[in-house]
Amino acid sequence: MASPAIMVIDDDTEVLNAVERDLREKFGRDYRIVKAASGASALEAVHELQRRDEVVALFLTDQRMPQMTGLQLLETAREIYPDAKRVLLTAYADTEVAISSINKLLLDYYLMKPWDPPEDNLYPVLEELLEDWRANVKPSFEGIRVAGALWSPRSHEVKDFFARHQIPYQWLDVDRDEQVRAQVESRSGGKLRLPVVFYPDGTILVEPEIRDLAEKSGLPTRASMPFYDLVIVGAGPGGLASAVYAASSGIRCLVLERQAPGGQAGNSPKIENYLGFPNGLSGMDLARRAVTQAKRFGAEILSAQSATGVRLQDNYRVVTLLDGSEILCKAVLIATGASFRRLEIPGIEELISAGVYYGAAYTEAAYYQDRPVFVVGGANSAGQGAMFLSRFASKVTMLIRRDTQWSSRYLVDALGTNPKIERLFNTEVVGVLGKPGNLEGITVLNNITQEKKTLPGAAMFIFIGAQPQSDILRGLVALDENGFILTGRDLMQAGKYPPGWPLDRDPYILETSVPGIFAVGDVRFGTNHRVATAASEGAVAIAAIESYLNSL
Ligand SMILES: Cc1cc2nc3c(=O)[nH]c(=O)nc-3n(C[C@H](O)[C@H](O)[C@H](O)COP(=O)(O)OP(=O)(O)OC[C@H]3O[C@@H](n4cnc5c(N)ncnc54)[C@H](O)[C@@H]3O)c2cc1C
């Protein structure tokens, strides 16, 4: 199969040849560089590539061209190669038009002319976009096949694992393909044990553990050294940011991740408000970039490796792992996050992030402009969510299990006087309506009268509490009554050190009640459940950890 193409378009022959030369030098080994001197000839080339069943990875076009502007060309090309990255080569005068095109999702980036030196002004941007393209494009291939069903949580877990590690696979739905179903049953003793993973080398794994998949895929699951300066538990945004800052400061660090990097953020289809990404990025893309960055600085990241506990040994900290092994280190950073309590309703899993959202889904609100939505829960987070959503939605119906709300007075008053918000008390969600990927309504039950009714709506935002994943520190460090880890000033009681604190200094910011054990992100008391917060706490914690390591 031919290499993917990078198309470069400019009506100025001198510029066209210069860009082509620079692109060929850097990307010529992996991509075919195709050049065109006008929008029309570019479109001809695009149609020819399409006819030959070849792919375009990236368009790099001048904006000001006679007959057809760069943006007009990109708009047409997008219909043929929707996944290709689109970059405009602009003069300063065109930056406004480029920025507004980013907002309309027509453009991935704009570059200013001249781009010399290309090592600084051209290659880094294009490399990143091409890496993105490779990670998201689904090439036809003879690779791993995963046979499963949409209703099987284990199938989702396995798909998620492959997706988060950018391992391409083909999905086979046993409910849609009799042949696949028969194949699966024959591999699992006549039963439907899902999922079944077929590897090109003939290996077949039935209901595999994530660890089996990681090992089979050649991902590191065992630490390469017995001792580290820092062990980070959890590879969500908090853990990954910590790894980047630690490794870049020369701290030898190991990251342990129970599943695959990304954490809860990996479930977010689009994080719109993360600094530096004007057209948003998915949680998975963020994780992939962070993993690459952390590894580039020398951090070691293990997948499918759970920490089960932490104990103290003199000045050292020992992290115990599920496989029974132990890792010695000077400091530990807990970034194990929280898991949002889930609603157990048939069919809901297929709607997650496509009409059903857990926790901090504020970024989705604008998509539901003038449409009715639901909020599940009666505490502060649900109330705040409902208030926020009422700015966009035509109506917000709150479904509250109890006969009253358990949130701040001001919020209860605000909810009561908001004309767009209706609160249904003693009401539980018992069903979801719609197709996978498209919520159309819900069924609710009044838990006093037992009356059921169907309500139409486009989205359901669930705020029924988050559970911190702090079990591995239970009994070792101070937690609040809900299990969130207390750190820094939150540990101090009436200005005094926490009970048992052995040092004559205050705990560092983000340090727990045990010196040398730190916590960041959703697992920590007082955080606000945001990607950016977890990531920035990671950076702050590393500064404190450096002080701690220097004090040893
Ligand atoms: C569906 C969804 C959408 C969201 N959308 C947004 C959004 O658009 N914008 C926004 O700002 N926030 C959003 N959030 C919230 C945001 O994702 C979290 O605030 C953020 O991910 C917290 O990061 P963290 O690193 O603290 O923890 P997490 O992301 O929870 O990561 C913790 C990691 O630790 C691992 N782990 C746990 N225990 C262990 C163990 N014992 N051993 C090894 N590993 C372990 C977990 O597997 C996980 O990967 C969303 C959350 C959800 C659920």
Nearest residue (by CA) to ligand 1, atom 14, is 360
CB of 69 closer than 8 Å to CB of 42: no
How far from 467 is each of 158, 321, 482, CA to CA, in Å? 23, 22, 8
CA separation for the pair 208, 155 (Å, rounded): 10
- 369: its two tokens: 């402009």
Ligand 1 neighbour 266 (Cβ under 6 A): no
150-154, 257-261, 310-314, 390-394: lowest mean pLDDT where?
A: 150-154
Average pLDDT over residues 278-299: 87
Ligand 1 neighbour 147 (Cβ under 6 A): no
Q: Which residue has the higher pLDDT, 408 or 17?
A: 17
Ligand 1 neighbour 534 (Cβ under 6 A): yes
pLDDT beyond 70 at 217: yes
Specify the pLDDT at position 141: 52
pLDDT (tens digit, 9 = 90+) per residue, 40-68? Answer: 999 999 998 888 878 899 999 998 888 89
pLDDT beyond 80 at 137: no
Q: Which residue has the higher pLDDT, 135 or 98?
A: 135
382 three-class SS: helix
Phi, psi of 283 (to 5 degrees): -60, -35
Amino acid letter, residue 222 = R
Model confidence band, residue 105 (pLDDT cutoffs 50, 70, 90): low
pLDDT beyond 70 at 138: no
Say how many C-beta atoms besides its own lie within 10 A of residue 30's C-beta.
Answer: 12
pLDDT (tens digit, 9 = 90+) per residue, 160-193? Answer: 888 778 787 888 888 888 888 988 888 877 788 9
Ligand 1 neighbour 529 (Cβ under 6 A): yes
Specify the pLDDT at position 2: 67
Average pLDDT over residues 70-87: 90
Percent of the chain with pLDDT over 70: 93
How far from 359 is each of 247, 251, 416, 468, CA to CA, in Å? 31, 33, 22, 13
**What pairs with residue 379 in β-bridges?**
406
CB of 69 closer than 8 Å to CB of 86: no
CA separation for the pair 532, 541 (Å, rounded): 14
Q: Which of 86, 87, 83 is nearest to 134 (CA)?
A: 83
Ligand 1 neighbour 377 (Cβ under 6 A): no
287 three-class SS: helix
Ligand 1 neighbour 340 (Cβ under 6 A): yes
Specify the pLDDT at position 438: 78
Specify the pLDDT at position 396: 96
Model confidence band, residue 393 (pLDDT cutoffs 50, 70, 90): very high
Amino acid letter, residue 361 = A
pLDDT beyond 60 at 363: no
Ligand 1 neighbour 390 (Cβ under 6 A): no
25-29, 63-67, 405-409, 531-535: lowest mean pLDDT where?
A: 405-409
Ligand 1 neighbour 320 (Cβ under 6 A): no
What's the DSSP call for residue 498?
A: P
Average pLDDT over residues 133-138: 76
pLDDT beyond 80 at 427: yes
Ligand 1 neighbour 239 (Cβ under 6 A): yes
Specify the pLDDT at position 511: 98
Q: Which residue has the higher pLDDT, 514 or 463?
A: 514
Top mutation candidate among 270, 474, 531 for ligand 1, by most atoms within 8 Å of CB: 531
pLDDT (tens digit, 9 = 90+) per residue, 433-488? Answer: 988 667 899 999 999 999 999 999 999 999 888 789 999 999 999 999 999 999 99
Could you identify the atom of ligand 1 that is nearest to the CA of residue 361?
A: 5
Average pLDDT over residues 268-272: 64
Q: Ligand 1 centroid vs 237 CA: distance in angstroms?
A: 7
Cβ density class 364-376: b for 16+ within 10 Å, e for less: bbeebeeebbbbb
Q: DSSP characters for 140-183?
A: --S-EEEEE-TT-HHHHHHHHHHHHTT--EEEEETTT-HHHHHH
pLDDT beyond 80 at 103: no
- 404: its two tokens: 């009253």
Average pLDDT over residues 284-309: 92
How far from 464 is each of 41, 101, 482, CA to CA, in Å? 56, 38, 14
Could you identify the atom of ligand 1 that is nearest to the CA of residue 268?
A: 3
CA separation for the pair 317, 331 (Å, rounded): 6
Nearest residue (by CA) to ligand 1, atom 15, is 530
Ligand 1 neighbour 247 (Cβ under 6 A): no
- 233: its two tokens: 């538990």
Give the angle subtended at the CA of 217 by the CAs of 304 and 223, to the nearest 5°.
Answer: 45
Specify the pLDDT at position 539: 97
Specify the pLDDT at position 365: 74
Q: Ligand 1 centroid vs 239 CA: distance in angstroms?
A: 10
Average pLDDT over residues 531-550: 96
Average pLDDT over residues 1-9: 85
Could you identify the atom of ligand 1 that is nearest to the CA of residue 306?
A: 42
List Cβ<8 Å contacts ≥24 apart for 525-528: 525/479, 525/480, 525/484, 525/485, 525/486, 525/487, 525/490, 526/484, 526/487, 526/490
List the beta strands (DSSP E) in 314-389.
Answer: 316-321, 326-334, 338-340, 356-358, 372-376
Ligand 1 neighbour 307 (Cβ under 6 A): yes
Answer positive or negative: Cα dihedral of 71, 77, 78, 79. positive
Question: What kind and span of H or E run contains 109?
Answer: strand 109-112
Top mutation candidate among 210, 336, 363, 525 for ligand 1, by most atoms within 8 Å of CB: 336
41 three-class SS: helix
Half-sphere exposure of 260 (CA within 13 A, CB side): 26
pLDDT beyond 60 at 372: yes
Average pLDDT, the chain: 88
Ligand 1 neighbour 423 (Cβ under 6 A): no
Q: Which of 224, 229, 220, 226 is nearest to 261 (CA)?
A: 220
Most confident of 124-128, 252-256, 263-267: 252-256
Q: Which of 264, 293, 19 is nearest to 164 (CA)?
A: 264
Top mutation candidate among 164, 268, 319 for ligand 1, by most atoms within 8 Å of CB: 268
